Amino acid sequence: MVRKFDFLVIGSGIAGMSFALKVAHKGKVALICKSGLEEANTYFAQGGVASVTNLLVDNFDKHIEDTMIAGDWISDREAVEKVVREAPAQIEELIKWGVDFDKNEKGEFDLHREGGHSEFRILHHKDNTGAEIQDSLIKAVQRHPNIEVMHGEVTEIPAEGVTVIASGPLTSDTLAEQITNLCGGALSFFDAAAPIVTRESLDMEHCFTASRYDKGTPDYINCPMTKEEYQAFWAELVKAEEAEVHGFEDSGVFEGCMPVEVMARRGEDTLRFGPLKPRGLVDPKTGREPYAVVQLRRDNADGTIYNLVGFQTHLKWGEQKRVFSMIPALHDAQYLRYGVMHRNTYLDSPRLLDRYYRLKSDPRIAFAGQMTGVEGYVESCASGFLAGIELARRLKGQAPLDLPRETAIGALGLYVSNESVGQFQPMNINFGIMPPLDHRVKGKRNKNAQLSQRSLAIIEQLKQEVLSYEDHH
């Protein structure tokens, strides 16, 4: 018997289920999962969810400061600010899905104060909050009349009909092969990402722009090091503390994306004959080739963010900050992303996807979640949300919802689909991929607050336009 659906969602994680719920009112959805919906790590999370809900005594600034202190100021402040400010809206989403956070006798949230929190802001459900969230999301999916959950491994991508693939970073080998064939081989099976820093945070007195042997355009920022600076840097790098690495059982794969600290331990001069080689780069201050050079490669078309070439690493984030700050030009660098290494199946999205996560060569197929090269749970939800909204509007004959770069969801979609991004690596939402303000603002906190306000104003206007359209159609 042939069964017909309007949407096929492959993968039942956060992105897959959120997409299914977003589009289910537009048509029938088949949600495919390899095993039971209950089999997820979320179920075992006992702790609560932190969010500013009592504005009489709490506020976003307090929550942000508590989080930064608890993270020993290593956390990316921009990411912290975004998560904190968007938390109330996410709580409302969870409640809409049926999550029953504990309340007191007054009917107010029974907030707790735990860990490094200075105020009562932890929402919870007894001592099994993770299970409550997962069960509520599953029930929301199961009770929706237009969503059918189907168990089993998907081994072929349908030849017709709207399809959303949200199979996650551990996509099965069989489906990964199908995706590889569909995309012409553009699929990565590991994540070897180097750190990314902002250009404005570099000390340009200690670096210069040039290409090797002056060939081509000077697209690289070069950070020279003297012999003494390099030797001190190398000595700290080889003994720096590493994080655990997952998914590198195959020694050949590991060799193919060798961490900079592993390379350094092969000998003091190994880096100088590898990613830090100075050949063909003349420091204009000395007129000579430096002892060693760290190259930074532009990571977006605007030239506002740069990655450290050859610095894929699995050092702990605090160690990355400590050791890499020994490079003179990076002593006060602002990190938008630290280096990470783990098993991760993702697309070369700038060559394959458009800003709505649709396959350029076959727009009936869309991708969502970490498969698209977005990094993080919120970002996975954002990709599923945008893909779902776009497909629902398309089926109604409406133009796609234009979320511009000034919004976080729009900026992420535009970055992931930006063909000017050369060697694509997974990216999370950050202020560095959003356009700057048209005026100067003193202080990073004030600047980021205004960037957030600008985004919220745009989203509010879009919301009113969408609601107005729905009221008249």
Instruction: From first to last of the 473 residues of the chain, give the pLDDT tens digit.
Output: 567 888 888 877 766 777 788 789 889 999 888 776 666 556 666 678 899 998 888 999 999 988 888 776 767 788 888 889 988 988 888 898 888 999 988 899 999 887 778 889 999 988 788 788 878 888 999 999 999 988 877 788 888 888 889 887 778 788 888 888 888 876 766 666 789 999 999 999 999 998 877 766 677 899 999 999 999 999 999 999 988 765 544 343 444 467 899 889 999 999 999 899 999 899 999 999 999 999 998 887 778 899 999 898 889 999 999 999 999 999 999 998 898 876 667 888 999 999 999 999 999 999 998 889 887 778 888 898 899 888 888 888 888 888 999 999 999 999 999 888 877 877 878 888 899 999 998 888 888 889 989 998 998 888 887 766 665 56
Neighbouring residues of 46: CB distance < 8 A, sequence distance ≥ 6: 127, 128, 129, 130
Residue type at position 43: Y
CA 469, distance to chain mean position in Å, is: 32
The predicted structure's pLDDT at residue 46: 63
Q: Are strands 163-165 and 305-308 parallel, antiparallel or unpaired?
A: unpaired
List Cβ<8 Å contacts ≥24 apart for 248-257: 248/190, 248/341, 248/343, 253/189, 253/190, 257/190, 257/192, 257/312, 257/341
pLDDT of residue 253: 40
pTM, rounded to two decimals: 0.53
Residue 464: the pLDDT is: 82
Contact 175, 153 (CB under 8 A): yes
Q: What is the pLDDT of residue 445?
A: 81
- Find the helix packing angle between 408-416 and 377-395, rounded to 10°: 90
